Amino acid sequence: MLAIPIILYFSGSLLLNVPREEQQAFIAFDSDPDITVPLPWVEFRGVDQKAAVTGSILLPPANKTTGQPQALYFSGYEGILSIFSDGDLLVYAGSESTVQGPSHLQDLLVRLPTNLSTSTLTFSIEPAGTQFLRLRGGYLGPVSNFEEIISRHNFYYNDLRITFLGVEIFIALLLGALIISKSTPTYYRHLGSVVLFFMVIQASSLDGDPFSLNAFYHQFMLLLPYVVCLGFRLVLEANDVHQQRIKTARRTLLAFAFILAIPIQLGLLPGAQATLIYSLPVALIIWAIGVVVLFTKRSLRFSSYLTFALLVTTISALFGIAHDLSVKFGWIDSNLLFVPLCTPIFFASVALALILDFAKTRRELEDLNKNLQQKVINATAQIQRESSKRAFVEVEQAKSEAHKNVMMDLHDGVLGYLSSMYALLEPRTDSKTTTVKELAKSAMDEIRLMLNRDISGQQGSLLVVLSVFQDQMQSRLNSMDVELQMDVTSLADYDSPSDQFNLDIYRILQEAITNAVDRAACTELSIVAYTDQRTHFLCIENGGGRGLSLASDNKPLQGTGRSNMRARAEAHGAEMSITATPTGARLLIKLPLNDSPRGQR
């Protein structure tokens, strides 16, 4: 986008300027005929000075070898021009309605007679309602060369007007649609007011012809300060200290442009003089202040395509105005006026910027919509997980409540019946009654074990289970004249893997004591726990009875009970071994390690 104005300028210069090989005439004024002046010549006359300027045109040597008709071509003039050859009028051109405008160079082709015998022509040029007199070009060459240049001038300064108006109408419709929409940003409304103002002025009687490029140029110049001010308004952040001042200045300049347009349309002010005197100094002052602000600030909003477009087109407009004024005052020699190019560049850039901004906003909305949808999906999944977790907790609570009720029923109902039955059979001593009493006692011990495990609430506490086991077995063994010695305090810091492990250890001790009492007829029992570094051991040893039956290889015989004991231990990673002693046996259990911290199992 930055290269567009530069490309258009150089391409326009190549198309519109006269080829350099054409020879150029000189002029000499009657007031000082001895001094020749090269073209272009410009003289400021003021409004009240009506005297004509007279002089001579000194023709360069003509190349007549081509045989083509020769012509004298003036690429621009301002005023009423008369050219004579030996007193005969060759051309009379110009009037108050055919002056050079700020966006158009009036060119003139003077066909020279084939029998022209002199190399000096005389001219007279007088003001035509303007403050300048101007004469540019003065090239001598074949008519065909200049006709091609004139056709290009007509295309540039006249035919492109339709393209300019088409671009403007397109922008007006686009901005009108944005203004009607509810989500229109404020600066779109400002741009819409600018374009609609252009359309109103063009439909008026400004400069006589509302669709002339002169009128179009005046309209652009009329709003130039507003456009410059709007551009700086868009590149500043919303919280900038200059924001309110620029906003107020922009509204003031727009109102002043509307007010100034009224006397121009009524014919009270010439459009060219009013817009030029008003707009250029104001725009330059605003631009200078804005540039200082931009260089002193760091937080600029350059992400907007519209901001960039306005800055570029504003620079192009100021460059075009400076260039055209230099041409108008004769400081540079060029057949190209750049302001007619700046106008379509401005509207085309704004149109492209608006389209890109719209596309960018749409993409951002689509991305936002996708993000919102993904967040909704994630939130829904989270809610489902929380719902499943809550349902699981509720089920576990219900199971716990049901388990608690079962435990209460066992304690209050079944245990009570067994205790009553045991109390009724206590006085009787026959063998059958004794067997029933032992079974009832075992059943009560099992129920008490279940109740103690549930009430203790100490998951993984093997020491508690062994303490309950000691309480239950102590009185029973005493009644059978079996001395029990038990020391398991070293298990106070041991965390067993699970409650099932504790129950299986309890069953292993039950089976070991049953074998020691019933089969080995022991009189002494010892249950000791000890620690070797990080490993815990549980040792059960009986004595005072029969020794352990050995196989032919001197290893203990493996019965069903011992196999079950070993299976229970190995199911939890424990190791169990049995060795024979002279009056009994020794059972050693290597407890498994549990590296999980407390409270995380």
In this structure, what CATH number is given to the domain that contains residue 101?
2.60.120
Instruction: Give yes or no for residue 405 having a pLDDT over 70.
Output: yes
Which range, 77-81, 254-258, 275-279, 412-416, is most confident? 77-81
Q: Between the CA of residue 220 and those of 103, 202, 275, 284, 290, what are the distances in Å?
A: 11, 11, 9, 15, 20
pLDDT range class, residue 590, cuts 50, 70, 90: very high
Residue 375, pLDDT score: 92
Binned at pLDDT 50, 70 and 90, residue 474 comes out as confident
φ, ψ (nearest 5 deg) of residue 508 = -65, -45
Instruction: Report pLDDT digits (tens) over 231-271.
Output: 566 555 555 556 667 677 767 776 777 677 667 666 666 65
| Helices 499-514 and 462-479, packing angle to 10 deg | 20
pLDDT over 70 at 61, yes or no: yes
Place of tokens 């206590």: 426
Strand residue runs (E) in 1-150 = 23-24, 26-29, 37-38, 41-44, 53-58, 70-74, 76-78, 80-85, 88-93, 108-111, 120-126, 132-136, 139-142
Per-residue pLDDT, 436? 81
- Residue 318 phi/psi, 5-degree rounding, is -65, -40
**Residues forming a β-bridge with 87:** none
Mean pLDDT across 272-278: 61
Where does the pLDDT of residue 181 fall: very low under 50, low under 70, confident under 90, or very high at 90 and above?
Answer: low
Proportion of the chain above pLDDT 70, given as a percent: 55
Rounded mean pLDDT of the chain?
A: 72
Residues 115, 181, single domain; the answer is: no
For the segment 298-306, the average pLDDT, to the nearest whole number, is 52
Q: CATH number for the domain including 487? A: 3.30.565.10
Q: Which of 93-97, 99-103, 400-404, 424-428 has the lowest mean pLDDT?
A: 99-103
Residue 600 pLDDT grade (very low, low, confident, very high; cuts 50, 70, 90)? very low
Closest CA to 234 of 293, 174, 167: 293
- Helix 339-409 × helix 213-235 angle, to 10°: 30
Distance CA 301, CA 380 (A): 38
Q: Which of 355, 373, 391 is the last residue of a domain?
A: 373
Is the pLDDT reported for residue 81 higher than 80? yes
Average pLDDT over residues 375-398: 88
Identify the domain containing residue 50 by its residue range. 23-151
Same domain for 254 and 137: no
Most confidently modeled range among 46-60, 309-323, 522-536, 558-572: 522-536
Domain contains 107: yes
Rounded-to-integer distance, Cα 545 and Cα 585, Å: 10
Domain identity same for 181 and 133? no
Instruction: Say whether both 193 and 331 belong to one domain.
Output: yes
117-121, 172-176, 329-333 — which is least confidently predicted? 172-176
Q: What are phi and psi of 270, to 5 degrees?
A: -70, 130
**DSSP three-state, residue 452:** helix
Q: Where are the alpha helices (DSSP H) in 181-270?
A: 186-202, 213-235, 243-265
The more confident residue out of 393 and 407 is 393
Q: Which of 73-82, 110-119, 201-210, 280-289 has the lowest mean pLDDT?
A: 201-210
Asked if pLDDT for residue 484 goes beyond 80, the answer is yes
Q: So what's the pLDDT on residue 71?
A: 83
Q: Considering 151, 179, 213, which residue would you say is the last residue of a domain?
A: 151
CATH of the domain at 200: 1.20.1070
Q: Are residues 165 and 261 in the same domain?
A: yes
Can you give the pLDDT at residue 130?
A: 63
Joined tokens for residue 100: 């050079």
Residues 290, 219 share a domain = yes
CA atoms lying within 13 Å on the CB side of residue 290: 27
* 497 within domain boundaries: yes
Which is higher by pLDDT, 246 or 367? 367
Q: Residue 38 falls within a domain, yes or no? A: yes
Buried b (16+ CB within 10 A) or exposed e, 77-108: bbbbbbbbbeeeebbebbeeeebbbbbbbbbb
Residue 573 lies in a domain: yes
**pLDDT range class, residue 539, cuts 50, 70, 90:** very high
Give a yes or no: residue 452 inside a domain: no
Q: How far, CA to CA in Å, does 190 sit from each of 80, 121, 178, 236?
A: 43, 56, 11, 16
Domain membership flag for residue 528: yes
276 and 352 housed in the same domain: yes
Last residue of a domain, one of 373, 404, 436: 373
Flag whether 362 is in a domain. yes
Question: Average pLDDT for residues 404-411, to the nearest whole number?
Answer: 72
Angle at 97 between CA 91 and CA 101, to 5 degrees: 95
3-state SS, residue 77: strand
User: Which stretches of 261-341 are assigned E, i.e. beta strand?
Assistant: none
Shared domain for 221 and 330, answered yes or no, is: yes
pLDDT band, residue 75 (cuts 50/70/90): confident
Given the structure tokens 């050693």, which residue do they identify? 588
- Percent helix, strand, coil in the chain, to 5, is 55, 15, 30
99 and 219 within one domain: no
The answer to whether residue 428 sits within a structural domain is no
Same domain, yes or no: 228 and 173: yes
* Overall number of domains in the chain: 3
pLDDT at residue 376 tops 50: yes
Minimal CA–CA distance to 60: which of 81, 40, 38, 88?
Answer: 38
Helix residue ranges per DSSP H, 82-182: 143-154, 160-180
Q: State both tokens at 500.
A: 């099932």
| 175 and 112 in a common domain | no
Domain identity same for 222 and 190: yes
Q: Please give the pLDDT value at position 205.
A: 44
Compute the residue count for the chain: 601
Which helix H or strand E contains 280, and what residues bound it?
helix 271-296
* pLDDT confidence of residue 599: 43
**Percent of the chain's residues with pLDDT above 90:** 4
> Residue 421 contacts by C-beta under 8 Å, 6 or more apart in sequence?
440
